[in-house]
Structures are given as structure tokens and as C-alpha cells.
Amino acid sequence: MFTEIAIVVFLTLLNGLLAMSELAVVSSRPVRLKILADQGSRGAATAIALAQDPGRFLSTVQIGITLVGVLSGAFSGATLGARLSGWLVEQGLSASMANGLGVGSVVVAITYLSLIVGELVPKQIALRAPEAVAAKVAPGMKLLSRVALPLVILLNGSGKLVLALLGQSGSSDEKITDEEVRTVIAEAHSAGVIEAEEQEMISGVMRLADRTARGLMTPRRDVEVIDLEDDPAEIREQLRHTQRSRLPLRKGSSDEIVGVVVVKDALDGLLEGRPVDIEALAREAPVVSDRTSALTVIEKLRRAPARMVLVYDEYGHFEGIVSSGDVLEAITGVFEDEETGEPAIIEREDGSYLVSGWMPIDEFAHAVGLGLDKEPDYETVAGLVIDTLRHLPSLGENFAVGGFHFEVVDMDGRRVDKLIVRKLPS
């Protein structure tokens, strides 16, 4: 009897090992397995190979689990159940009652053991450290797959045939989405792996790739420009008092930027008392369309002698500039202006938000949790207002979109300056 009990316990443990192997390999993250494999783990490399052919791997596991189940059922009912029934008869019970009680008790006991030792505990172990478990069990699963190769081929082929009849290719889309990456980052922050500031900057980098030159640029109205037709004394005063390190050059009211001057180059001559030809000091700046992707703009910015990119629209009108500071703000968030001290967004005591119209729409959506189209036709909160209303708003005009209520509370001429944004009740 002890031999039969030992066999049942062994089969239960084997079932648990198979269940743990299945869940560990399926739930392992390929990136982590790749890291372990690069560090010399042969088991991780084997686990990657198993995961790349899930049909064959699952067929192997199912063969093992089914075989264990059949053997365990045979021993529990025919052997242990019969022995317990015979013992109960010796104790004075009737044959029918002893048979039912003996077999039933053994089935219940083995079922309970199978659920705990053969399923729940192994699967919890696999979920806690899937990559480590997968690396350890993968060689054994590969060996089992070779031993049961004919049955594995039969089951795998049959499974693919049924999938084809159901209109499924049998392949899955394993591409990682932006939302999944953000979820992983949020989990890392919750676990204390990264700081809140690091999380925000990583999110900023992800948003940066979705922007265009228009979403990165400092708009034309905020760009300080040197007019070459101004009096030289006026130009010298502008150079002395500017807070910028580089300034675009233009001639009169022309929309054409003729170059970019590095302020230090001009000040060196002024401090030495030499006459300075500003136009001669001009450096070339590349020109991009306002719809150019942010990554392309950054690549051009890296190669630009003036460390500045000029942005023009499809009609050839100058729209703004992109500097390294604009790229940094896209990652870390907009810096407050020292003169105005105007933040992009302020959360008020009642839970509403005071929002500047110039705030980038992706940063605003991230801050308040607003869902947006994949590629909106606007770059700022003001653009969202105009795109929704389809006209230039008037003071006090309001509307609702995406579960939020927007109210225009300040206009700067024809520019949407300030809004109050409230989240609507569910």
C-alpha cells in the first residue's frame, strides 16, 4: 500500500512540475529571458526556443499532464480505493458501503492533493519568478518534447488544423504598445525601482516621438529676432539685454530668416570695441516643415552649426524655431518663464485645473488623464479648443469633450490664453 501511495504522490508532484513549467514559460517576458541568456544561462535560451513554438510546447505539456492524470486515476481508484474498501469490510461495513466510502475517500483525498500540490502552489511559484523557473525547467521540457515527438507532432498539427478551420492563423501579435510600456513604468515606480521624476521624463521621451516640429517649436510670436535693417545702436542694445544665446536674423518685415547669430560671437567684438558685421557672423540653420517628425527635427538639430532649426509651413511662412531647450522641455515639461512665472497647469482647491492655452496637448492629456486621438491635428490645448468648436472662441464659451468640461476664461486678442478644466461626474 505504501508503494501505491508513493506512486500517487510522485505523480502529483510531476503534475505540479508540468503545470509550473507551462505557466512559467508562457508568462515569461522575452526581454528578461534574453538578458539571462546573454549572461550565459542555457536554460533561458532553451526557454526562448520553447516560447517561440507555443503549439509544440503546449502539446508536450498536455501529453505529460494527461498521462499523469490517467495513471493517477488508475492507482487511486483501482488500487488504493480497493485496498481501503477491503480494510473497511474487515472493520464490519457492508461491501457496498465499504466500496463507495473507500473509493470516494481516496478520490477526494487525491483530488485535494492534486489541486494544492499539483496546481495551485506550483503555479504561484511560477508567477512569482517566471523567468527563473522557466530557465530551470526548460531543459527537462525540451527532453520530454523529444521523447514524445510523434505524439507532439500529431497534437500540434491537429491544433493548427482546427485553428485554420476557425479562421485563426495560429500566430499572435506580440508587439508591445505604448500603453503597455507606460504600465510597466508605472509598476516600476510603484515598486520603488524608479523615482517619480524619472517616470515623468521617460513618459516625456515617449511623447516626444509622437510630436511634430510644430509641437516642439517655440512659436513665431515668442521668438526674439534681430532685424538687420535696425539701427546698429539698437542692435547692440538688443544683444546686450537679450536672455537668448542664439538669435535668428531677418531683413525688415520679410518672412525669410537669413541665418542665426550666436550672441557671444557678436559680444566679443562689441566688448573689444570693434565694429561688428552681424550678417557676416550668421550661421546657417536647417529648415523643416511644421509636419516633420520630432525625431527627424532632433537629428537635423544635432548637425546644425547654429544648434537651431527653422520651422516653415507648407506656404513658406516662418512659424517658429526649435532649439535644444525646446527638446529638453518636451522631455521634462515646460519651464516656467522667469518674467511671467506662468505655469502650464495649476490644480485648484476644488479639483479643477487652470490651464494655459499654449500647453502642449500631449502633456495636458497625460496630466489630467484625457483620452486623445492617435494623431490629433493640433499641438496645444488652445488647438483642442478651436478644433472642437470649429471657430475662434469668445470669453466664457464652454464645451465638454472626453469627460472634461472646458471654459475659456481669458483671451489674449485672438489667442486662447487661459481655460478652466473640470472633470465631469461619471
Q: Is the per-residue pLDDT at 359 higher than 90? A: no
Residues 156, 21 share a domain = yes
- In this prediction the pTM is 0.57
Does some domain include residue 235?
Answer: yes
Report the distance separating Cα 259 and Cα 283, nearest Å.
Answer: 5
Residue 289's DSSP bridge partners are: 312
Mean per-residue pLDDT, 83-110:
69
Residues 7, 115 share a domain = yes
How many Cβ atoms sit within 10 Å of the Cβ of residue 8?
A: 23
Does some domain include residue 27?
Answer: yes
Report the distance separating Cα 171 and Cα 151, nearest Å.
Answer: 21
Residues 156, 51 share a domain = yes
Residues 196, 132 share a domain = no
Does some domain include residue 173?
Answer: no
Look at residue 151 in the predicted model and tell me its pLDDT. Answer: 78
Range name among 35-44, 114-123, 268-277, 410-419 with the lowest pLDDT average: 268-277
Question: What strands lie across the sheet with 398-401, from one edge to the other?
Answer: 345-347, 353-356, 415-423, 404-412, 398-401
Report the distance separating Cα 240 and Cα 260, nearest Å.
Answer: 16
Mean pLDDT rounded to a whole number for the chain = 81
CATH number at residue 256: 3.10.580.10
Instruction: Please write the tens of the pLDDT for every residue from 381-425.
Output: 888 899 888 888 889 899 998 889 999 999 888 888 899 999 988
Q: At what angle do helices 54-74 and 130-147 cross, to 10 degrees?
A: 80
Residues 128, 257 share a domain = no
Residues 143, 87 share a domain = yes
- Greater confidence, 347 or 199? 347
Look at residue 269 in the predicted model and tell me its pLDDT. Answer: 75
Does some domain include residue 75?
Answer: yes
Residues 149, 20 share a domain = yes
Residues 237, 200 share a domain = no
**What contacts 192, CB < 8 A, 6 or more positions away?**
none
Does some domain include residue 361?
Answer: yes
Report the distance separating Cα 284 and Cα 53, nearest Å.
Answer: 55
Q: Please, are residues 329 and 360 in contact by the beta-carbon 8 Å criterion? A: no
Does some domain include residue 339?
Answer: no
Residues 71, 60 share a domain = yes
- Greater confidence, 227 or 104? 227
Mean per-residue pLDDT, 70-92:
65
- Please, which pLDDT band fits residue 334 given cuts at 50, 70 and 90? low
**Within 13 Å, how many C-alpha atoms sit on residue 257's CB side?**
30
Helix and strand totals (H; E) in the chain: 18, 12
Look at residue 80 in the predicted model and tell me its pLDDT. Answer: 62
Cell of 285: 540653420
Long-range contacts of 382-388 (CB under 8 A, 24+ apart): 382/357, 382/358, 382/415, 382/416, 385/357, 385/416, 385/419, 386/416
Mean per-residue pLDDT, 9-16:
84
Q: Is the per-residue pLDDT at 195 higher than 70? A: yes
Which residue range forms the structural domain that includes residue 124? Answer: 2-165
Domain boundary among 332, 363, 378: 332
Mean per-residue pLDDT, 108-116:
79
Does some domain include residue 171?
Answer: no
Does some domain include residue 233?
Answer: yes
Mean per-residue pLDDT, 217-231:
87
CATH number at residue 379: 3.30.465.10
Look at residue 405 in the predicted model and tell me its pLDDT. Answer: 93
Look at residue 322 in the predicted model and tell me its pLDDT. Answer: 92
Q: Is the per-residue pLDDT at 9 higher than 70? A: yes
**What contacts 108, CB < 8 A, 6 or more positions away?**
none
Q: Is the per-residue pLDDT at 129 higher than 80? A: yes
Q: Is the per-residue pLDDT at 216 higher than 70? A: yes
Mean per-residue pLDDT, 153-163:
80
Domain boundary among 130, 165, 200: 165
Look at residue 309 in the predicted model and tell me its pLDDT. Answer: 92
Domain boundary among 332, 366, 397: 332
Mean per-residue pLDDT, 120-133:
88
What is the DSSP annotation of 277-294?
-TGGG-B---EEETTSBH
| Tally of domains within the chain | 4
Report the distance separating Cα 411 and Cα 415, nearest Å.
Answer: 6
Residues 319, 414 share a domain = no
Q: Is the per-residue pLDDT at 171 higher than 60? A: no
Residues 154, 11 share a domain = yes
The percent of residues above 90 in pLDDT, for the chain, comes to 8
Look at residue 299 in the predicted model and tell me its pLDDT. Answer: 92
Query: How long a stretch of residues is the chain?
Result: 426
Residues 185, 125 share a domain = no
The percent of residues above 70 in pLDDT, for the chain, comes to 87
Residue 322's DSSP bridge partners are: 309
